[in-house]
């Protein structure tokens, strides 16, 4: 992965250059506040629909989901299903009211029926917090991509994205972001389809060699005997230098350190009655002096961990190649109970000053990979199951509450255009998510998983088809990050400049000041995004996005739903709901097993057993808005109360015509 292709660099520069060209070209349209924050409300619904897809198919969708499918099979695809399902809520409940009630920001819509400063303040805070939560995985994705693409370290990718995005946003605001997302969304879907077609033409092999580019590496298994607990390999050229037992829950896995031709490596032992089998693994050992060894030899550009992932049995055959397969046959062959797939696990320990990480193969039947359970413990304890339900609820309800998605409803001229653009988004996003299953399973079976970082599975799969596809996919993925981060920074800068400085604080006197304030805010939020990207290196980006969805669904969605469908909702109820949603969801995350792991503590000791807070925080947020609204005086403006649900069929709309 250390080598850098000139073609990759050229394609990267071309795509980033195209993005910047679009920004400067559209800059003249962003001199007014409407132009800067909402692209003047003049974007065609078709363009906006694909731009929605561009916004939504972020680093998490592309890198995180494919990576998770590559290492955990169907469980990664559950994210695809949940993310897409969220668009149903957006279309049926949120799209047209958002377009009707808002002008530049999500806060506009929430506050439209109240016109209260406290609603502006707390809704803007919610926008900022959700945007920042969502920014983290995007920046992590940028850092992950830059190393194999350009050979730069992780931090360079993060800083580069921050600088480019600040340039895009500060230059041309929502207009450039929209066209960047349109271009990027289109390219992403087209090239994902190209890779899937190439994958189907290649078919499946028990010895995948990446089209002849990387020889298939067959991991050895040697036999051994066990006497009084001592393991002795039957091949005398191997000698045992030590053993280590790793206990995960109730299961103990034994690793044996073998010396062979002067090199010491760790092997995984399978012990059954008298027979012992020792399986070759991969490992990284860091000595107490900091020296790093990979698979027994000093780490170098030529000695890195091998990419992994293959099928050792295809429908009962151990040495076969299927040739080209149809899409359904491809899934059926991988999911056959007579197929076996090698998934990779990690064991790690520290002994004195020496730390060891061992990556070992764990064969799994095909039908286990194509159903849930490898990542989400749906067959585990009730806590595990509740955690899974919590995630699926957050994904379903989170989409319609993401500020950077909601502001895209203001870029089209009418409610009908908002609705149509959502339908286009569902078609584009749904199609892409179907492709993610093939991309992920393709990476799993083509030896293109980096055991250190599964986020790179899709680009590495593309690389197995040639440098051009790799360069295109990586550059598009990088542009994906640029586009999504741009949208998030627009949403966040709108919250600061429009919601807080102007509508809450009354500090802004002219349209020009509002645009300048938005651009300055973009610099600040961009800087924060860079710092967060550096802090969260190595976390699966799809998981991080799941958390952002939970916070959005908890803080924003109850307010949107209740404001639209319960005329007794009060401004104090809205404020209470936002506070409860944010505090409970962020609080639960802060005390979750995931956070404990980040803090360097034992996840099992975390006070909150749930990793996903939505199942608690969303109902509590609804309860808060209901109870506080009941306890406070109605303050929804009269014209809105008169047109609340079940009222006569008249509803206020924005000044723009209903038709586009």
Partner 1 sequence: MLHEPAAVHGIDEAAAYKRRLGLKMLAVYSVLYVIFIIINVVWPKAMGTMVVAGLNLAIIYGFALIVIALLLALVYNWLCTRHEKTFETEGKA
Q: Report the site for partner 1 in 52-81 (rule: CB under 8 A).
A: 74, 77-78, 80-81
| Lookup: tokens for 403 | 């500020």
Nearer to partner 1, 88 or 132 (CB): 88
Nearer to partner 1, 356 or 521 (CB): 521
Quick check: 301 and 294 in contact, CB under 8 A? Answer: no
Nearer to partner 1, 387 or 453 (CB): 387
Please tell me what DSSP assigns to residue 91: I
Phi then psi dihedrals of residue 313, to 5 deg: -145, 130
Query: Which residue is listed with tokens 């006197």?
Result: 509
> Residues 373, 466, 603, 619: which binds partner 1 (CB under 8 A)?
373
Phi then psi dihedrals of residue 288, to 5 deg: -65, -20
Quick check: 334 and 256 in contact, CB under 8 A? Answer: no
Distances from the Cα of 168 to the Cα of 174, 177, 438, angstroms? 9, 7, 33
- Closest contact distance (angstroms) between CB of 51 and partner 1 is 17
What is the CA 380 to chain-centroid distance, rounded? 25
- Closest contact distance (angstroms) between CB of 257 and partner 1 is 38
- Closest contact distance (angstroms) between CB of 419 and partner 1 is 6
Please tell me what DSSP assigns to residue 176: H
- Closest contact distance (angstroms) between CB of 404 and partner 1 is 18
Nearer to partner 1, 244 or 377 (CB): 377
By CB under 8 A, tell whether 138 contacts partner 1.
Answer: no
Axis crossing angle, helix 154-202 with helix 45-56, rounded to the nearest 10? 110
- Closest contact distance (angstroms) between CB of 397 and partner 1 is 10
Could you say which residues in the range 159-188 bind partner 1, by CB under 8 A? none
161 contact partners, CB below 8 Å, separation of at least 6? 138, 139, 142, 478, 481, 482, 485, 529, 530, 533
By CB under 8 A, tell whether 647 contacts partner 1.
Answer: yes
By CB under 8 A, tell whether 87 contacts partner 1.
Answer: yes
Query: Which residue is listed with tokens 């850092």?
Result: 143
Give the Cα separation of 652 and 102 in Å (integer).
Answer: 12
> Residues 4, 9, 20, 88: which binds partner 1 (CB under 8 A)?
88
By CB under 8 A, tell whether 379 contacts partner 1.
Answer: yes
By CB under 8 A, tell whether 608 contacts partner 1.
Answer: no
By CB under 8 A, tell whether 240 contacts partner 1.
Answer: no
Query: Which residue is listed with tokens 């710092």?
Result: 531
Instruction: Name the nearest CA neighbour of 582 among 612, 551, 618, 628.
Output: 551
Nearer to partner 1, 420 or 463 (CB): 420
- Closest contact distance (angstroms) between CB of 426 and partner 1 is 5
Phi then psi dihedrals of residue 258, to 5 deg: -110, 135
SS3 assignment, position 239: strand
| Lookup: tokens for 408 | 């895209």
Provide the edge-to-edge strand list for the sheet that holds 239-248. Answer: 230-233, 221-227, 275-280, 263-272, 251-260, 239-248
By CB under 8 A, tell whether 651 contacts partner 1.
Answer: yes
Nearer to partner 1, 263 or 637 (CB): 637
Give the Cα separation of 659 and 654 in Å (integer).
Answer: 12
Judged by CB under 8 A, how many residues of this single chain contact partner 1? Answer: 80
Could you say which residues in the range 311-340 bind partner 1, by CB under 8 A? 328-329, 331-333, 335-336
Nearer to partner 1, 268 or 498 (CB): 498
DSSP string, 552-578: HHHHTHHHHHHHHH-TT--HHHHHHHH
| Lookup: tokens for 528 | 């924060």
> Residues 35, 40, 102, 459: which binds partner 1 (CB under 8 A)?
102
Contact window for partner 1 (CB under 8 A) among 2-10, 93-101, 152-160, 282-290:
93-101
Nearer to partner 1, 22 or 508 (CB): 508
Please tell me what DSSP assigns to residue 297: E
By CB under 8 A, tell whether 85 contacts partner 1.
Answer: yes
Nearer to partner 1, 332 or 452 (CB): 332
> Residues 62, 396, 465, 470: which binds partner 1 (CB under 8 A)?
396
> Residues 118, 260, 346, 385: which binds partner 1 (CB under 8 A)?
385
SS3 assignment, position 600: coil
Per-residue string for binding with partner 1, 272-311, x by CB under 8 A? ----------------------------------------
Per-residue string for binding with partner 1, 406-445, x by CB under 8 A? ---------xx--xx-xx--xx--x--xx--x--------
DSSP string, 67-86: HHHHHHTHHHHHHHHHHHHH
Could you say which residues in the range 470-529 bind partner 1, by CB under 8 A? 502-503, 506, 508-510, 514
- Closest contact distance (angstroms) between CB of 421 and partner 1 is 10
DSSP string, 416-436: HHHHHHHHHHHHHHHHHHHHH
Query: Which residue is listed with tokens 């990793």?
Result: 611
Nearer to partner 1, 33 or 166 (CB): 33
Pairing of β 239-248 and β 230-233:
unpaired
Nearer to partner 1, 108 or 453 (CB): 108
> Residues 215, 229, 262, 655: which binds partner 1 (CB under 8 A)?
655
- Closest contact distance (angstroms) between CB of 376 and partner 1 is 8
505 contact partners, CB below 8 Å, separation of at least 6? none
Contact window for partner 1 (CB under 8 A) among 190-198, 212-220, 299-307, 645-653:
645-653
> Residues 19, 35, 64, 100: which binds partner 1 (CB under 8 A)?
100
- Closest contact distance (angstroms) between CB of 615 and partner 1 is 11
Nearer to partner 1, 378 or 598 (CB): 378
By CB under 8 A, tell whether 345 contacts partner 1.
Answer: no
Quick check: 542 and 606 in contact, CB under 8 A? Answer: no
């Amino acid at each position: 992965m250390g080598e850098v292709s000139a073609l990759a660099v050229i394609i990267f520069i071309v795509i980033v250059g195209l993005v910047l060209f679009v920004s400067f070209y559209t800059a003249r349209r962003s001199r007014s506040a409407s132009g800067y924050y909402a692209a003047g409300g003049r974007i065609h619904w078709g363009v906006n629909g694909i731009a929605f897809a561009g916004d939504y198919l972020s680093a998490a969708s592309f890198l995180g989901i494919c990576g998770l499918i590559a290492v955990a099979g169907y469980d990664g695809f559950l994210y695809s299903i949940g993310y897409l399902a969220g668009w149903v809520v957006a279309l049926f409940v949120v799209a047209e009211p958002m377009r009707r009630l808002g002008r530049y920001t999500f806060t506009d819509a929430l506050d439209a029926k109240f016109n209260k400063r406290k609603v502006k303040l707390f809704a803007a805070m919610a926008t900022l917090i959700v945007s920042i939560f969502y920014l983290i995985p995007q920046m992590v994705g940028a850092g992950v991509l830059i190393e194999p693409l350009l050979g730069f370290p992780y931090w360079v990718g993060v800083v580069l994205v921050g600088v480019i995005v600040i340039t895009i946003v500060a230059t041309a605001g929502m207009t450039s972001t929209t066209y960047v997302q349109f271009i990027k969304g289109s390219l992403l879907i087209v090239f994902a389809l190209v890779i899937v077609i190439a994958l189907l033409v290649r078919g499946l092999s028990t010895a995948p060699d990446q089209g002849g580019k990387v020889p298939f590496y067959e991991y050895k298994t040697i036999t051994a005997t066990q006497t009084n607990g001592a393991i002795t390999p039957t091949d005398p050229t191997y000698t045992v230098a030590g053993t280590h037992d790793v206990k995960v829950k109730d299961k103990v896995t034994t690793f044996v350190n073998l010396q062979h031709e002067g090199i010491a490596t760790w092997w995984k032992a399978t012990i059954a009655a008298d027979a012992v089998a020792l399986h070759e693994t991969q490992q990284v050992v860091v000595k107490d002096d900091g020296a790093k060894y990979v698979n027994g030899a000093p780490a170098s550009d030529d000695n890195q961990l091998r990419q992994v992932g293959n099928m050792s049995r295809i429908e009962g055959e151990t040495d076969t190649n299927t040739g080209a397969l149809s899409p359904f046959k491809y899934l059926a062959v991988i999911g056959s109970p007579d197929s076996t797939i090698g998934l990779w696990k990690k064991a790690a320990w520290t002994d004195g000053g020496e730390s060891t990480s061992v990556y070992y193969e764990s064969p799994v039947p095909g039908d286990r990979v194509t159903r849930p359970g490898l990542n989400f413990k749906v067959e585990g304890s009730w806590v595990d199951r509740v955690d899974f339900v919590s995630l699926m609820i957050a994904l379903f309800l989170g989409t319609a509450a993401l500020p950077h998605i909601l502001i895209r409803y203001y870029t089209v001229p009418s409610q009908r255009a908002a609705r149509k653009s959502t339908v286009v988004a569902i078609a584009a996003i749904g199609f892409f998510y179907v492709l993610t299953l093939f991309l992920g399973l393709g990476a799993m079976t083509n030896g293109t998983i980096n055991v250190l970082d599964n986020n790179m599975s899709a680009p590495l799969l593309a690389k197995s088809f040639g440098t051009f596809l790799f360069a295109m996919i990586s550059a598009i993925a990088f542009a994906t990050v640029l586009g999504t981060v741009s949208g998030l920074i627009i949403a966040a800068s709108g919250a600061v400049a429009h919601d807080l400085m102007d509508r809450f604080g009354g500090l802004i006197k002219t349209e020009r000041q509002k645009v300048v304030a938005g651009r300055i805010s973009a610099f600040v939020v961009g800087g924060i995004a860079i710092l967060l990207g550096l802090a969260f290196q190595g976390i699966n980006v799809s998981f991080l996005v799941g958390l952002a969805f939970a916070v959005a669904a908890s803080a924003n969605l109850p307010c949107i739903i209740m404001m639209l469908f319960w005329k007794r909702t009060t401004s104090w109820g809205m404020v209470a709901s936002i506070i409860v949603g944010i505090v409970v969801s962020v609080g639960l995350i802060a005390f979750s097993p995931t956070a404990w792991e980040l803090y360097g503590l034992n996840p099992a000791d975390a006070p909150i057993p749930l990793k996903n807070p939505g199942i608690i925080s969303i109902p509590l947020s609804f309860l808060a808005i209901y109870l506080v609204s009941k306890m406070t005086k109605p303050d929804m403006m009269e014209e809105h109360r008169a047109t609340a649900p079940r009222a006569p069929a008249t509803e206020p709309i924005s000044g723009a015509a209903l038709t586009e």
